[in-house]
Amino acid sequence: MKFGILISEGPYTHQASDTAYHFVKSALEAGHEVPRVFFYHDGVNVGTRLSVPPQDERNIQQQWSALAKDHGVDLVICIAAAQRRGMLDANEAERQGKDADNIAEGFRISGLGQLIEMGIETDRLMTFGD
């Protein structure tokens, strides 16, 4: 089965990103496909490279980045939601005249078209968060 994943809640205020991570990891281990995870609303905060959780806590951003690297999962951050929350990749930072970017390795910014495409190309679209 091919799953598409939508995450719409932030990483340390809600369990959605953790639950989605464990679901995706288990699905991949069971032989299912997860070609893309789309981060929307506050879920985009999962993809910041500037979060620094305490050393004795899990680092959900690093977990997602490693999963993407190991399994080729496309981690897409909604551009509109990201810009509202001060998240920019290098190209968008330059375009907006900002001096820094903050998107973590393995994540990329794109539009809602990627969400629509994921819904069309997968067997199931799983939503984590409100």
pLDDT in tens, 60-112: 999 999 999 999 999 999 999 999 999 999 999 999 999 999 999 999 999 99
Task: Note down the domain range covering 57.
Answer: 2-128
Residue 130 pLDDT = 83
Digit-coded pLDDT (tens) for 107-127: 999 999 999 999 999 999 999
Digit-coded pLDDT (tens) for 2-57: 999 999 999 988 999 999 999 999 999 999 999 999 999 999 999 999 998 898 98
DSSP 10-77: -TTTSSHHHHHHHHHHHHHHTT-EEEEEEE-GGGGGGGBTT----TTS--HHHHHHHHHHHH--EEEE
Quick check: helix, strand or coil at residue 92? helix
Please state, in angstroms and as integers, the Cα–Cα distance from residue 33 to each residue in 71, 100, 121, following that order: 9, 34, 11
Q: How many domains is the chain built from?
A: 1
**What phi-psi label fits residue 29: left (phi over 0), alpha (psi between -120 and 50 degrees) or beta?**
alpha
**At 78, which CATH number?**
3.40.1260.10
Residue 73, both tokens: 């999962």
Quick check: helix, strand or coil at residue 102? coil
Neighbouring C-alpha atoms within 13 Å toward the C-beta of 128: 25
Active site (catalytic) residues = 78
